[in-house]
Chain A
Amino acid sequence: MNRVRAGWGLVGCLALALGVLVGCTLGPGQAFATLVPGTLEATLSLPAGRLEDGAWKTSNGYLVRLEDGLGVTAGKLALLAPGSAAKAGSGETFDPAKPPAGYSLCHNGHCHRADGALVDYADIAAELASGGAASAPREVVTFAPQPKSAQPVAPGGQASWTLGEASPGLLLDRGSVSQTRWNVGFEARGQVTPEAGTASLSGGARTFRFQLAPADLSFIGRTPAMIDRTESAYYILSGMLRLSVRAFDGLDWARLAAAQPEGVLDLTADAASKETLLANLAQSDWQPTLKAAAAAP
């Protein structure tokens, strides 16, 4: 009997030793840190110059009144790593005097992108380091934020979400992560009126609506971190989206109203209007954070 007990004891010790050895030889594919879900927030702050009689003033002379704020639908959130083709980087070093393809007129800390956007030196350098814009990032962990239904964000207000279920899980492999992408949908219903003297609208005041699915628009922000044993064991992932005050700028309300003399103006059904809305909302400021922590919060 004692021999049997001694034998089991030996097996136990061997198993323990084996476990320790395995633990000391974790390689790629093993968990090296734990992701801690934080919160997502969206805010809408309109400066005084954008408000007139409680309405949202546009750059082209219209006043927009939303019935229930700007509806924000939280789609998939993904923590990204540089794609496999981009791991080695493009080999190109950022030099403002010789900007990479697609950029020009680099000065005062920013370059002009071909589409007119101003991009910081740091963002271009990071893009080059990760292999350039053509490389496809790899999803490391994805979340399904809750609630799923659109949350109204009125001027001066905000909405928040929990990150929801993680796929495949919260354990992070060894390697680098670089960005966080959030797919966001938008919808609203309201009334638009022209300002006297500078804008016109058939009917004077018109009701409108639009709905953009989360698949239509994604925001990508930098969350660089090296996941290995020398760094922190926990990373808290959160994000803040400051909605663009230019959401309704440049919409050709007069053309829409003339083409549709009666009823609700559906901006989503009009290709040019949908494109303008997407371009405007894409200017929202997305600031994700991946904050390191030594212990579980």
Chain B
Amino acid sequence: MQATRWFLTFALGGALAACATPGAQPSAVPSPVPSASPSAAPAANDSEGCEHMLEGPAVAVKAAAKGALAEAPKVGEDHHRYDIALGGTAGKYEGTVRLESAEAADHTVYLSKNVPFAVRDAKGAVAFKSQLVGASSCSAISARYVVPLGVGVYFLDFGPASEQNVSVVVEGAEEAHDD
């Protein structure tokens, strides 16, 4: 069991890193602002993220329309998988959810599908520290984003995408930093 988890950790990092080799297109997803170079190293939470993406526990939420921040439902960094239903029309599904960050730290966001993704706060877009997108050995994860967040409210934007649903797992970092 333990060996399987170590395998998942490194295999996920390795496979995602392989999709982000220099010269290759790291992602079809536009970052809201220029992002840092993709990191080849597996994130500390990959094993945890994979397990929750595969096994939940799951919470279903319906995303608010982009811009309707007051109506955005909450997702949490609480060891759950959030199954998000996007709104809009066929081929252009999109939506926004709210994340309340309890610590100033790098957070890792795992997506089940490769849909356009961005993070913002009240002041604007938040740059990703790294982003790795592509097929991985963790069958349920298609993209991993590491985002430096402070304590407070953030909004996760999805789409426009052809996919009507996307699942998300958010993991806080093991080492907090001061912002």
Contacts and interface: CB of A to CB of B under 8 A. Distances in A.
Interface of A: 47-50, 57-61, 96-97, 104-105, 107-108, 112, 116, 118, 195-200, 246, 249-250
A281 B79 CA distance: 20
Nearest to A49: B104
Contacts of A198: 69, 121-122, 152-153
- Which 9 A-B pairs give the minimum distances between C-beta atoms? A49-B104, A197-B122, A198-B153, A48-B178, A59-B100, A61-B153, A59-B102, A97-B1, A49-B151
Interface residues of B, number: 30
B51 interface: yes
A196 B80 CA distance: 29
Interface string B99-131: 011111100000000000000011100000000
Given A105-B55, A107-B48, A116-B79, A48 B104 contact: yes
A93 to B, nearest CB: 16
B160 interface: no
B99 to A, nearest CB: 9
25 contacts: A47-B103, A47-B104, A49-B105, A49-B150, A49-B179, A50-B104, A57-B151, A58-B151, A59-B101, A59-B102, A60-B152, A60-B153, A61-B152, A61-B153, A96-B2, A104-B55, A107-B1, A107-B48, A108-B5, A112-B79, A116-B79, A116-B80, A118-B79, A197-B121, A250-B100
A271 B5 CA distance: 41
B136 interface: no
B142 interface: no
Contacts, number: 74
B66 interface: no
Interface of B: 1-2, 5, 47-48, 51-52, 55, 69-70, 78-80, 100-105, 121-123, 150-153, 176-179
Main SS class of interface, A: loop
A49 to B, nearest CB: 3
A47 B176 contact: yes
A116 B52 CA distance: 12
B152 A107 contact: no
Given A60-B100, A105-B52, A249-B100, A50 B1 contact: no
B51 to A, nearest CB: 6
Contact of B1 (A58, A60, A96, A199): A96
Contacts of B47: 107-108
A205 B45 CA distance: 38
Contacts of A108: 5, 47-48
A99 to B, nearest CB: 11
Contacts of B55: 104-105
